[in-house]
Structure 1
């Protein structure tokens, strides 16, 4: 199984799947981007085997570029794993305190955020495309975790996964204005006079949101692999029929 592992110790495992031309649909992991659901299931089963888990341990959401999040319980295990329709609806971030639950997030240019809490074992994933970023899904998630779950920002470690680079993320003024309105993204944008387009660093904007939430900068890691440029990447901007990466995190338990 072609994956990139960000952490793998006795407590946590987290990583992302990569594009693999040897696999069905190049190792696509998402039903909504597939031609044959059975290909996605086959690819996911290979991932499950590599992690020594069952497919019924997976939990995924039906992502809509919202700012909605969901606390996953044991009752949610298996949702969206083998049938897309059973995924948690209209949700772009998941978190749980349960062990042996593999939280999943799907991207092909958007920013995946994977996090784990060293103190209480809480884990989560966030799907932050540019729409999620301007809706501040990451800030809202961590605000909730602080207020409702009693988490301390300093206990979190965060991995920002591979995404579309600033070089390749060019937008018109309508999107630029939304990022400008955040009030803290100016240094992550530039204007290209030749093409009349703005270029935005979505990853660094999300990193700034994490810092605003109180996460220590040294506990935030960026994977600067560009999904458009890298042969390991699925890029929707490059190919509207592109598959999806699956970013995952799980806390090991007995």
Structure 2
């Protein structure tokens, strides 16, 4: 079975995050842009598709650039970024769709994956929020669009924030610290280490605050506080510049109860 964390399996919504697994090709790497052999990654993705019960040809990934850009995925987008990076949604770090049986993915190795859904509207979304995406406010911008332009109620959203780099391991210089401080609401998640002259920032809690400010009720947000650097099941770019990638995914199926089970990492 695929090694992953199932974050949601309720009704028609299924969502999870694949984890590092030494038993699988390239340790279960899902990143075609960060691999030794693309065929190994495709093997891993096909196994995930089998677990979820949705063909790989209905997966969609963006070509992530740490932007604040988002894209509404239509039926004709199915398969983009699934088997090659060439046809991935360009320059995009957040995807959302109203289409059923389309798996949206966010590829990370320390960055914060945000999986959201709105059952009332039949919408699911996946966001890649590295520190640059967080300070560019990609998640608030997507939610502002969905609420103000598409008329969705923030009270109807639910969100899962996936495993990411912990505050302990997210050590930054003044330039990054200033970017977070300029947000005006991240001060509680910034700690200065006088011995090293570095700042430590909690990117997950900053994203959570963005969600709360957007009107998402606190009881509808959950965070996986596992650190991708410290956890044996984590891919960490901070630890290894050649690290593979997790795939955090979400799908709304037409048949309730479908979606993979997977196994926890060992």
Q: Same fold (TM over 0.5)?
A: yes
Structure 1 residue aligned with 2:93 = 92
Structure 2 residue aligned with 1:221 = 222
Structure 1 residue aligned with 2:259 = none
Structure 2 residue aligned with 1:180 = 181
Q: Counterparts of 2:124 and 2:224 in 1: how far apart (Å)?
A: 19
Q: Which moved more, 1:198-207 or 1:115-124?
A: 115-124
Alignment of 1:187-206 (within 5 A): 187-206=188-207
Deviation, structure 1 residue 35: 1.1
Deviations 1:67-108 (A, max 9, x none): 000000000000011111110000000000000000000000
Q: What is the aligned length? A: 254
Deviation, structure 1 residue 149: 1.6
Structure 2 residue aligned with 1:211 = 212
Deviations 1:172-199 (A, max 9, x none): 0000000000000000001001111000
Deviation, structure 1 residue 120: 1.2
Q: Counterparts of 1:79 and 1:66 in 2: how far apart (Å)?
A: 19
Q: Counterparts of 2:63 and 2:72 in 1: how far apart (Å)?
A: 14
Q: Counterparts of 1:103 and 1:31 in 2: how far apart (Å)?
A: 15
Cα-Cα RMSD: 0.7
Q: Counterparts of 2:84 and 2:111 in 1: how far apart (Å)?
A: 23
Structure 1 residue aligned with 2:35 = 34
Q: Does 1:121 align with 2:122?
A: yes
Highest RCO, 1 vs 2 (Cα 8 Å, sep ≥ 6):
2
Q: Counterparts of 1:141 and 1:227 in 2: how far apart (Å)?
A: 25
Q: Counterparts of 2:175 and 2:121 in 1: how far apart (Å)?
A: 41
Local SS of the residue matching 2:33: helix
Local SS of the residue matching 1:208: helix
Structure 1 residue aligned with 2:258 = none
Q: Counterparts of 2:10 and 2:192 in 1: how far apart (Å)?
A: 43
Deviation, structure 1 residue 156: 0.3
Deviation, structure 1 residue 118: 2.2
Structure 2 residue aligned with 1:138 = 139
TM-score, normalisation: structure 1: 0.99
In structure 1, the gaps of 5 or more residues are none
Structure 2 residue aligned with 1:22 = 23
Q: Counterparts of 2:100 and 2:119 in 1: how far apart (Å)?
A: 13
- Structure 1 segments of 4 or more deviating over 2 A? none
In structure 2, the gaps of 5 or more residues are 256-266
Deviation, structure 1 residue 9: 2.5
Q: Counterparts of 2:81 and 2:217 in 1: how far apart (Å)?
A: 33
Deviations 1:112-148 (A, max 9, x none): 0000102111000100000000000011000000012
